Structure 1
C-alpha cells in the first residue's frame, strides 16, 4: 500500500483491519466499493469518489500480489 498516494501506515492498518488481506472474496473493485458503502451514484460527493478510487486502487494492488 506504500505505492498509493495519501495512504500512510495508519490508514493501511485500518484498511487491513476492516477488509482483511484476502481480496478474492470481492468479485471486483466495484463489489468492494459497494461493500464499503462508497459506490459511485447520482448524488456522489467528491469524498465518496476519492474513497471509491482508493478502494479501487487497493483492490488492484491486492490482485497483483
Structure 2
C-alpha cells in the first residue's frame, strides 16, 4: 500500500521560530557578571595554551602523526 503525504498550503512558509522575540531589558549586575566571566575564561585559556602539559601533548600528537 502506498501512502502519499501532502505537506499542506503553509509548508513553504517560515514558522514562528523565524520571528525575532522582544528585546529583553539589560540587567547591570548580570552584564558585569558576564564580563567578569569572559575575562576569567580568556585568562584561563591563555594560561592553558602556555601549559607544559598541552605543549607535551601537542608534541606527542605531532610525533604520532609522523609515524
TM-score (normalizing by structure 2): 0.29
> Relative contact order, CA 8 A, sep 6+: which one is greater?
1
Greater Rg by CA: 2
